[in-house]
Amino acid sequence: MRPTNYAPLFFRFFRFLPLPLLFSFVCLLGLLGSWGCGSASGQSSRTVPVITTDDPEAEALYRNALRAERDGRIDEAEEGYREFIARFEEDPLRYIVRLQLGRLLLARADEDHAIRLLEEAREHGDEETRERAALYLGLAKHLRDENQDAIALLEPLSGKLIDAEERALHQRTLAAACLAVRDYLCGLEALDSLSRRDESGKMEEDEEDAIGTIVNSELREEELAELYERLPREGKSWELVAKRHLMHVYASGDLERAQAIASALRAENVELTGELLALTERAEDLRKADKDSIGLILPLSGRHQEVGNEALRGVNLATGRFGRGLAARSDASLLIRDNAGDPERTVRAMDELIAVHRVIAIIGALDGPTALAAAKRAEEAQIPFISLSASGFVQDESQWAFRMLPSALHEARELASAAKEEGARRVAILRPEQNYAERVAGEFREAARSVGIEIVADLSYAEGTRDFRSLMDELRKGAPDFIFLPDRPARIAILAPTLAAASLWSPPASARGASGIGTRLILPSASFDESLLGREVRYLEGAIVALPYRLNDEVNSIIEEYRERYGRSPSVFASSAYDAYRMVREGVVRRGAETREALRDALEGAAPEIPLSPSAGFNEGRAPKRQLAAGVIRDGKLEALNAH
């Protein structure tokens, strides 16, 4: 009888593995059909059963079938195993025979019958038979594309199988099943274990090529990052993953992370050569910041460009280009980038400023999403970042992030307290329908109620609203003594006269004959600038204002210089940007900070020599030292709230 040739069937067993691995699997076909390789001694160590029988006929039949299998007479072996099962149903060898026959049927691609026999052996055999049955059952499940079932069968066998070739079959089948379901951690760990099959610990060239194919062609960036952390470092997979991860991290501009990966590779005695060595040396060089270079990222286009340009004006004044400032004496370089209010553009701009220009700090990001994105990137790159956003607690996202502007929410609470001190009992809220105004109004509402103020009306209007008459009627019904109005200054200039026309104002002494019910406004810092002190100021008498800058003799010359240059007083974004730049330069020039880490330490708890903005510098938690600089409009002039 001519033996069956099983080689053509073999390659479908591992169809999910990369091609370089398939050749090395051919030798393992001997485990299924006994037509070749065997163990190092020339035969499989699994030819003698652990369990024996007292029936000489059963033993003779089993040994004859086993000998036929070993000699390549596969059809004769199959016939012998089938006869044994039919004649000796209660014999101790019955489940070992089912295992042997199941292996042969699996090699013939008769998976249905093979699975039935292997399941019986796995359920009822002795411990070693159950483990070996699970191995071939796992292979059968993989052949059927039932890879999760295959993994569940194969993973518990790690470290249990005795025969070296069956251990190799186990690891290759487990790798194939895991890779079929994109479980790269499991798959690569299984391939790594093949290098520990003998004392040499060497991995076959085709196995290493297979790992390289997976790492270089199939893994996404996020998968590389996860595998870098989770793979055992003694395996070849971790080395290849770490090298590719290093290149991705360097390309993203995260120089600190790149250097850490390079150090980890060296710690595992992995030599870096060629491109990897060059970019590692480049990363180490780029981490040395230029102490006289500062990055500025602002929305100079898009819907936030108005406030972006205000912040730019504040920084320009602080540079000393117009006659004052530390930069005039220290040749500081200011690198400005437009993020158009987009978080992704913000991160790209940061990467360029860090990797190409080696800036010592970055200032900017005026809204919550861009500030949070910048804070996360600052943490990764380990560079001081000073946020100019009034929303978002960026200092909680990163140990390298500072928030210059007082929180809009904290400011709203302070305004409620200030209104209470000014005698407020009944307050209305009038706000535009947008996120900032909604959040600030909500915080003010809760704070006002907590100090005993009654909210008599809570009204909103669409951004494009031009006719406010219906809202005026609602407000008059509440007869408020204060109205909280969180809108931009240009809209305040329209609403204030409208409110006055509805008698919702407090006429100044100069407005002879004017009538009103004594209502005053409460304006957050984002709602006020000096343009309101023009012809509209008569409608703002008694208004409580969160000032965009500090009111004292020290800053008067700075404010006057700003007015001369730009024709207006600084907004809160301009004053905060001014202070941010000054604090970076003072940290470098006066405190001697020449590295990013030294500058971060210098900024914690620091204040500008002459603070212009309401925050007056940072506290130890990298948040504003103060949350409010309050003023009041009296007789057409702005003065400190407690001046009288």
User: pLDDT tens digit string along 425-466?
Assistant: 999 999 999 988 998 999 999 999 999 999 999 999 998 888
Give the mean pLDDT of 203-208.
63
**Are the C-beta atoms of residues 521 and 496 closer than 8 Å to each other?**
yes
Helices 236-252 + 255-267 axis angle, to 10: 160
The confidence score (pLDDT) of residue 213 equals 81
Bridge partner residues of 536 (DSSP): none
The confidence score (pLDDT) of residue 72 equals 87
Whether residue 203 has pLDDT greater than 60: no
The confidence score (pLDDT) of residue 516 equals 65
Nearest to 428 by CA among 463, 384, 475: 475
Q: Which residue has the tokens 């150090």?
A: 263
Strand order across the beta sheet in which 482-484 lies? 454-461, 426-432, 482-484, 520-523, 544-546, 630-634, 637-640
**Are the C-beta atoms of residues 475 and 495 closer than 8 Å to each other?**
no
Burial class (CB in 10 A: 0-12, 13-18, 19+), 92: middle
| Annotation: CATH topology of 408-550+631-640 | Rossmann fold (3.40.50)
Residue 402 DSSP code: E
> Both tokens of residue 158?
């790690």
Whether residue 1 has pLDDT greater than 70: no
CA dihedral over 485, 490, 491, 494, signed as positive or negative:
positive
Q: Which residue has the higher pLDDT, 324 or 153?
A: 153
Could you give the CA distance from residue 367 to residue 308 in angstroms, rounded to a whole number? 10
Q: What is the pLDDT of residues 368-423, one digit of tens each?
A: 899 999 999 999 888 999 999 876 678 888 999 999 988 777 888 889 999 999 99
Q: What is the mean pLDDT of the chain?
A: 83
Could you give the CA distance from residue 546 to residue 641 in angstroms, rounded to a whole number? 10
Q: To the nearest whole percent, how much of the chain has pLDDT over 90?
A: 40
CA dihedral over 278, 282, 284, 285, signed as positive or negative:
positive
Cβ within 8 Å of residue 398, ≥6 positions away: 375, 376, 378, 379, 385
H or E, element range at 209:
helix 205-217
Same fold, 293-405+555-624 and 408-550+631-640: yes
Phi then psi dihedrals of residue 613, to 5 deg: -80, 165
Whether residue 228 has pLDDT greater than 80: yes
Could you give the CA distance from residue 590 to residue 588 in angstroms, rounded to a whole number? 6
The confidence score (pLDDT) of residue 514 equals 58
H or E, element range at 522:
strand 520-523
List the domain boundaries for the chain: 7-214, 219-287, 293-405+555-624, 408-550+631-640
Bridge partner residues of 523 (DSSP): 545
**Is the CATH code 3.30.70.20 the one for domain 293-405+555-624?**
no
Q: Which residue has the higher pLDDT, 159 or 495?
A: 495
Could you give the CA distance from residue 505 to residue 628 in angstroms, rounded to a whole number? 24
Whether residue 257 has pLDDT greater than 90: no
Question: How would you classify residue 146: left for phi > 0, otherwise alpha for psi between -120 and 50, otherwise beta?
Answer: beta
Nearest to 16 by CA among 193, 191, 178, 192: 178
Q: What is the pLDDT of residues 556-602, one digit of tens each?
A: 889 889 989 998 888 889 999 999 999 999 999 888 899 999 999 99
Architecture of domain 7-214: Alpha Horseshoe (1.25)
- Amino acid, single-letter form, for residue 577: A
DSSP string, 438-455: HHHHHHHHHHHHHTT-EE
Cβ within 8 Å of residue 154, ≥6 positions away: 134, 135, 138, 170, 173, 174, 177
Whether residue 488 has pLDDT greater than 50: yes
> Both tokens of residue 98?
């089912």
Question: How would you classify residue 277: left for phi > 0, otherwise alpha for psi between -120 and 50, otherwise beta?
Answer: alpha
Q: Which residue has the higher pLDDT, 595 or 45?
A: 595
Q: Which residue has the higher pLDDT, 259 or 306?
A: 306
Q: Residue 604 CB: number of other CB atoms within 10 A?
A: 15
Q: Which of 145-159, 200-214, 350-364 shows the lowest mean pLDDT across its residues?
A: 200-214
Give the mean pLDDT of 477-482.
94
Torsion of CA 236, 237, 239, 245, to 10 degrees: 170
| Helices and strands (H, E) in the chain, number of each type | 27, 12
Nearest to 32 by CA among 104, 117, 111: 104
Could you give the CA distance from residue 317 to residue 331 in angstroms, rounded to a whole number? 15
The confidence score (pLDDT) of residue 97 equals 92
Total residue length of the chain: 644
Q: Which residue has the higher pLDDT, 121 or 200?
A: 121
Q: How confident is the model at residue 15 (pLDDT cuts 50, 70, 90)?
A: very low
Nearest to 459 by CA among 450, 468, 451: 468
